[in-house]
Amino acid sequence: MALLQISEPGESTAPHEHRLAVGIDLGTTNSLVATVRSGMAVVLSDALGRPLLPSVVSYRGAGVVVGHEAQAQQSVDPKNTIVSVKRFMGRGLRDIAHFESMPYDFVAAEAGAEGMVRLRTSAGVKSPVEISAEILKVLRARAEAALGGPLSGAVITVPAYFDDAQRQATKDAGRLAGLNVLRLLNEPTAAAIAYGLDNGAEGIYAVYDLGGGTFDISILRLSKGIFEVLATGGDSALGGDDFDQRVFCWIIEAAGLAPLSAQDARVLLTRAREAKEFLTSHGEAPITVRLASGEYVDVKLSSTVFAEITKTLVQKTLSATKRALRDAGLGTDEVKGVVMVGGATRMPQIQHAVGELFGQEPLNNLDPDKVVALGAATQANLLAGNRAAGDDWLLLDVIPLSLGLETMGGLTEKLIPRNSTLPIARAQEFTTFKDGQTAMMIHVVQGERELVADCRSLARFELRGIPPMVAGAARIRVSFQVDADGLLSVAAREQTTGVEARVEVKPSYGLSDDEIAGMLKDSFTHASQDAFRRALREAQVEAQRLLEATRSALNEDAALLSAAERALIDDGIIGLEAVLVGDERHAIDEAMAKLNLATADFAARRMNQSVQRALSGRNIAEMES
């Protein structure tokens, strides 16, 4: 028999029409699934009452296990046991730091270094998308068992700094797991929703997320129901595990232990973690353990000593936080609230340090391990249509980096500026550069910089079948469309013939965290240099266009010129060609002016001639018709 949940007044659904929706926090270390029951977001636990599913997938022969069971395989079969697969999502091999020290058998994608990395396992070559899908399948099965029916949809969270490639990979993993992905949601945004900050609390919020192995800081601005990511930062190699490691080292030192066997090290590391967790609610943690080596450890770790040995780690997170604030151009006093996410933020010294930095108590009354999943569930519930009266708002996200395309000279033309709210569509007309040009390469790029070389390449495609026309006559309308998940499709259409080409952006590979974080910063620090380079490139492109036009005119109508005039024009061409490759913008401008002057009469004569040609042999009647 089905079990009923309480609905909002007037919102009872008809039997069999409950729209079951879940929020999924697909984490680097752990994953969770949550739903809204009787108006309350709750995390769904497994049959043993464990809410967290370790994000570990282990292939055994052709089979696969996920979670705690897979975790147990980590030391037995590291090659077939994939941990932290999130770090590989949407990434090429060369984007992955220290891949050579990982126990996996990486397979670079076929097209050289492009394309997402794959891993060779006992069950065959697997992509990060397939591996993530295994985690999602387990969460889906858990949710369907807990809710008593098939899911109508899911919201999956991603880090705010995830680029298009990584978002697309996450969405693909959801689909592969049989989920209807209602949308992807930024993790800090989900955390803010869980705290109800979306309900009328306008202002700047910081989300401090210290997980098992990663640290992320996000600065959000909420206004009119729109969360805008102002800045992100962090450290992809700093998390709660590092605190365990510090305690582990301290125990070895305090107990004067000799180098440990792998088994003893594992036992001690577990004790170190337990001690860390114990100190969250106690002033002192006793650590007693008898090692396989026969040595007996009996030490006491005080919270003061713990704070001391982990001070540099805490400091690192604070520096990244300050940096993110600086990127956003904000002071700590402008932050209205701080949301704590991730199990490691339970540590009192972190609560204290963050509170001190911002001059206010951080929000921490929700379980920091669950807060992202809870926010995602709230959003999923709304998107699935289970809305209460008055809750008819829809949360909007923004695109993190501008989207545009390459124009002549390697310049970026931004069609959709960063921080535009989603979904969004923009179109712009472009034209051909050369006479008789019948094809056009559309190169889609993402980034803030002026030159394509400094941005991230997302996709390239070609529009063919443009009718031959003089340069500048063709009208090609390029439209960019970004859906609610931040995923892009691009179409190009030649307006007179209607020929069209389009691409769904399935980007080839991603950037490293540092690169992404650095991209925004670069766009500020290089602003003046970029402006200079853009002006130079524009002058170069214009000069090339002039040379092209002059040459084509000479080919057709050189007969209209005297030898002296021809020599003057040739001089102008040589003069312009000489300065074209340099970086003297003014020299290019001057040479162009000179060539323009030299060809002014020539152009007028050609114009007259073509008018005469057009008119000759026609009578007045024809002219008037």
Partner 1 sequence: MITITEKAAKHVATFLAKRGKGLGLRFGVRTSGCSGMAYKLEFVDVANPEDHVFESHGVKVLVDPKSLPYIDGTELDFVREGLNEGFKFNNPNIKDQCGCGESFNVQ
Interface positions with partner 1 (CB under 8 A) = 1-12, 14-16, 37-40, 44-47, 142, 145-148
Instruction: Report the nearest approach of partner 1 to the CB of residue 39 (Å).
Output: 5
Paired tokens of 431: 């034209």
- Cβ proximity to partner 1: between 47 and 581 the closer is 47
- Cβ proximity to partner 1: between 5 and 74 the closer is 5
Instruction: Report the nearest approach of partner 1 to the CB of residue 198 (Å).
Output: 16
Instruction: Report the nearest approach of partner 1 to the CB of residue 150 (Å).
Output: 13
Instruction: Report the nearest approach of partner 1 to the CB of residue 46 (Å).
Output: 8
Instruction: Report the nearest approach of partner 1 to the CB of residue 151 (Å).
Output: 13
- Cβ proximity to partner 1: between 103 and 150 the closer is 150
What is the Cα–Cα distance from 404 to 452, expressed in whole angstroms? 9
Residue 499 identity: V
Paired tokens of 397: 């996200």
Helix (H) or strand (E) holding 505: none
Residue with tokens 């006093």: 333
Among the listed residues 86, 276, 370, 414, the single catalytic one is 86
Paired tokens of 262: 């792998």
- Cβ proximity to partner 1: between 31 and 599 the closer is 31
Instruction: Report the nearest approach of partner 1 to the CB of residue 388 (Å).
Output: 9
Instruction: Report the nearest approach of partner 1 to the CB of residue 43 (Å).
Output: 12
Instruction: Report the nearest approach of partner 1 to the CB of residue 385 (Å).
Output: 17
Paired with 106 in beta bridges are 119
Residue with tokens 């695109």: 399
86 is catalytic: yes
- Given a contact cutoff of 8 angstroms between Cβ atoms, the answer to whether 398 and 420 are in contact is yes
Identify the DSSP state of 511: -
What is the Cα–Cα distance from 123 to 109, expressed in whole angstroms? 18
Going by C-beta distance under 8 Å and a sequence separation of 6 or more, which residues neighbour residue 42?
A: 34, 35, 36, 374, 377
Among the listed residues 95, 134, 209, 369, the single catalytic one is 209
- Cβ proximity to partner 1: between 325 and 384 the closer is 384
Cis peptide leading into 423, omega within 30 of 0? Answer: yes
172 is catalytic: no
Long-range contact list for 47-53, CB < 8 A, 24+ apart?
A: 51/369, 51/370, 52/369, 53/135, 53/138, 53/139, 53/142
- Cβ proximity to partner 1: between 36 and 353 the closer is 36
Count the neighbouring beta carbons within 10 Å of the beta carbon of residue 554. 17
- Given a contact cutoff of 8 angstroms between Cβ atoms, the answer to whether 117 and 107 are in contact is yes
DSSP assignment string, 71-135: HHTTTT-GGGEEE-GGGGTT--GGGSTTGGGSSSEEE--SSTT-S--EEEETTEEE-HHHHHHHH
Q: Which residue in 481, 376, 492, 349 sits closest to 425, CA to CA?
A: 481
Buried b (16+ CB within 10 A) or exposed e, 272-304: bbebbbbbeeeeebebebebeeeeebebebebe
Among the listed residues 130, 164, 187, 228, the single catalytic one is 187
Among the listed residues 25, 164, 264, 369, the single catalytic one is 25
Paired tokens of 226: 């729109």
Instruction: Report the nearest approach of partner 1 to the CB of residue 18 (Å).
Output: 9
Instruction: Report the nearest approach of partner 1 to the CB of residue 16 (Å).
Output: 7
- Cβ proximity to partner 1: between 194 and 598 the closer is 194
- Given a contact cutoff of 8 angstroms between Cβ atoms, the answer to whether 409 and 385 are in contact is no
What is the Cα–Cα distance from 353 to 356, expressed in whole angstroms? 5
- Cβ proximity to partner 1: between 4 and 531 the closer is 4
Instruction: Report the nearest approach of partner 1 to the CB of residue 188 (Å).
Output: 23
CA distances from 382 to 39, 375, 385 (A): 11, 11, 5
Going by C-beta distance under 8 Å and a sequence separation of 6 or more, which residues neighbour residue 38?
A: 5, 6, 7
Identify the DSSP state of 10: T
Burial class (CB in 10 A: 0-12, 13-18, 19+), 24: buried
- Cβ proximity to partner 1: between 40 and 558 the closer is 40
Q: What is the CA radius of gyration of the chain?
A: 31
- Cβ proximity to partner 1: between 5 and 481 the closer is 5
435 is catalytic: no
- Cβ proximity to partner 1: between 12 and 497 the closer is 12
Burial class (CB in 10 A: 0-12, 13-18, 19+), 188: buried
Active site residues: 25, 86, 187, 209
